[in-house]
Structure 1
Amino acid sequence: MSKWIPLWLHKLGSPPIFYRFAGTLRPWFLGLALVAGAVALYGGLALAPADYQQGDAYRIIFIHVPSAWMGLFIYGVMAVASFVALVWRIKLAEAVAMESAPIGAAFTFITLVTGSLWGKPMWGTWWTWDARLTSELVLLFLYLGVIGLYHAFEDRRQGARAAAFLAIIGIINVPIVHFSVNWWNTLHQGSTVRILGPSKISASMLWPLLTMMVATKLYYVASLFGRVRADLLELESGKDWVRRIATENSVPGEQA
């Protein structure tokens, strides 16, 4: 394993080192996420012009689209971390995979809700069994399946291994969600933001969207750091480093 993983990354995989590392950086990521999110909302809701076809109704994209991107991105992270956890039995990778699932499920749920709110005035219906919407719903079920399977076992590590297998199998749905508008005839519009080549969206609308994308990724890291730290304390309970942290955080007089 050491042949393939850099020394600094191998050290960071140590629960006590990661705990301190994540604790130091988490407030910075959370603060930057709040600032970037506020700037993006102001740009999208106040500065960006109304769409020539959809009017102001389109502004929900500043929540909907970044949430959809994050649902796919987090599932990718969860699947990779699950693979690392299964192959190399790294406890930190296991925690990252399992604690990513609730965050990804939340973003996917927001995507479906905002999509329905957007679809009603645009398509005249809250829901349709469109390829994009259906595959996005499957994505939510996969997240919920991973969460449920993880908590279905008394032995948490055994549950994590079972859930990791499901996460890896479910990765096949990610490209289906992404390319569904190209592979099938759907009501959902095609991609307007491109990494390579010009985007099919006004610059005044594009920058708030990209800023919100940065904000959601920063929030994901901050939330993941907090969840993994709490998970590691539970997984490593009884270890010397956890007892030292408990002693450091104890209020004077409580041990009397």
Structure 2
Amino acid sequence: MALVQLARCVRPRLHRRRDPHLRVPAGGIVTTTQASAAAQPSTAAAPLGTGSQASRVLGVVVLVAMAVLLWLAFVASPRDAIQGDLVRLLYLHPALAWTAYLACFIATGASIQHLRKRTVGSDLLAHSAVELGAVMTLLTLVTGAIWGRPTWGVYWVWDARLTSTAILFLMLLGYLALHRIDAAPEVRSRRAAVLGVLLVPNVILVHQSVQWWRTLHQDPTLLDRNFDFGTSDLLMFTMVFGFVAISLLFVWLLLHRFRVAWLEHQVESAWLDDAIEARRAEALAESREAGAR
């Protein structure tokens, strides 16, 4: 137990306190020559990628779905009588916002699980979801600004919906920043998880902002019971298909990002184990030399 506690304290700063007699071979793992040779079989057995047969099939489905979506949005669908070609952004903007919400729900659930169980997998899942959530939220803000300039006359206003979405984006960036502070991995993960729990309440605030305050942003179209679905069949089909296609894209990206994070964790753990073994070998060699004298 004492060795485990010592390793946790040394781990984040190990690369700055490396013994000058240790060398860094190809691959970047701190080890001795013997440890490096012992590590070669495990390196050869490591997976060469993050894909599997199921993920490759999903990738093909995503590729086809995104191609169909772009064709529907920018070629097949007609111009709107009022908004003209600007309506084509609406095939992407709501779906991007939905995937940002979905990422926050996953991150909050995984953060709660990490605070309860302290599992590595839940922390990696939350971190992966937050990374994708930040990208989707940024794309939501950008596409909304492009749509808002000709519609409202400005790219940005301090509207309740826009402001709360910007706050959500800053919270996602804050989560990523907490994961990079100079502290032990357990401390970083725990602090980030606390912020991750607050993501869903802010998502609820973003979604309900158009109902709770006066805002330039329109009410949810798909949830409007008075919306006439029959007068714009292709528009509605393209919008719903956009939700499906971009959701599949999000799932595919999350799957691969989580696998990359898991491999990074495995490499980092192996690096720590090799460094500890190298120090044990050095201590043993020094004790033998002292005994020989």
Aligned to 1:161: 190
TM-score of the superposition, structure 1-length normalised? 0.79
* Deviation (angstroms), 1:166: 0.3
Aligned to 1:211: 241
- 2:195 is equivalent to residue 148 of structure 1: no
Verify the 8 A CA contact 1:146 1:166 in the aligned structure 2. yes
Take 1:152 and 1:25, find their aligned partners in 2: how far apart are those partners?
36
Q: Secondary structure of the residue that 1:236 maps to in structure 2?
A: helix
Of 218, 221, 239, which residue of structure 1 is paired with 2:251? 221
Gapped runs of 5+ residues in structure 2? 1-47, 271-293
Take 1:24 and 1:163, find their aligned partners in 2: how far apart are those partners?
33
Take 1:148 and 1:41, find their aligned partners in 2: how far apart are those partners?
34
Of 62, 81, 95, which residue of structure 1 is paired with 2:124? 95
Percent of pairs identical after alignment?
Answer: 33
Verify the 8 A CA contact 1:23 1:226 in the aligned structure 2. no
Aligned to 2:52: 23
Verify the 8 A CA contact 2:105 2:199 in the aligned structure 1. no
Q: Report 1:2-21 matches (<5 A).
A: none
* Deviation (angstroms), 1:157: 3.4
* Deviation (angstroms), 1:227: 1.6
Take 1:147 and 1:105, find their aligned partners in 2: how far apart are those partners?
9
Q: Report 1:226-241 matches (<5 A).
A: 226-237=256-267, 238=269
- The structure-2 alpha-carbon separation of the partners of 1:156 and 1:24, relative to structure 1 and needing over 3 Å to count, comes to farther
Verify the 8 A CA contact 2:66 2:245 in the aligned structure 1. yes
- 2:215 is equivalent to residue 186 of structure 1: yes
- The structure-2 alpha-carbon separation of the partners of 1:23 and 1:164, relative to structure 1 and needing over 3 Å to count, comes to farther
Q: Report 1:111-130 matches (<5 A).
A: 111-130=140-159
Take 2:185 and 2:123, find their aligned partners in 1: how far apart are those partners?
10
- 2:96 is equivalent to residue 67 of structure 1: yes
Verify the 8 A CA contact 1:41 1:208 in the aligned structure 2. no
Q: Report 1:47-86 matches (<5 A).
A: 47-86=76-115
Deviations 1:98-119 (A, max 9, x none): 1111111011001111111100
Take 2:201 and 2:135, find their aligned partners in 1: how far apart are those partners?
20
* Deviation (angstroms), 1:200: 4.7
Take 1:81 and 1:200, find their aligned partners in 2: how far apart are those partners?
39
Take 1:163 and 1:48, find their aligned partners in 2: how far apart are those partners?
43
Q: Secondary structure of the residue that 2:154 maps to in structure 1?
A: coil
Of 109, 117, 135, which residue of structure 2 is paired with 1:106? 135
Q: Rg larger in 1 or in 2? A: 2
Take 2:122 and 2:73, find their aligned partners in 1: how far apart are those partners?
36
* Deviation (angstroms), 1:228: 1.4
How many equivalent residue pairs?
A: 221
Report the residue type matching 1:77 in the other structure.
Answer: I
Take 2:53 and 2:200, find their aligned partners in 1: how far apart are those partners?
32
Q: Secondary structure of the residue that 1:68 maps to in structure 2?
A: helix
Verify the 8 A CA contact 1:116 1:126 in the aligned structure 2. yes
Verify the 8 A CA contact 1:44 1:62 in the aligned structure 2. yes
- Bigger mean CA offset, 137-146 vs 205-214: 205-214
TM-align CA RMSD: 2.3
Take 1:115 and 1:20, find their aligned partners in 2: how far apart are those partners?
35
- Bigger mean CA offset, 146-155 vs 174-183: 146-155
Aligned to 2:4: none
Q: Secondary structure of the residue that 2:198 maps to in structure 1?
A: helix
Take 2:58 and 2:225, find their aligned partners in 1: how far apart are those partners?
30
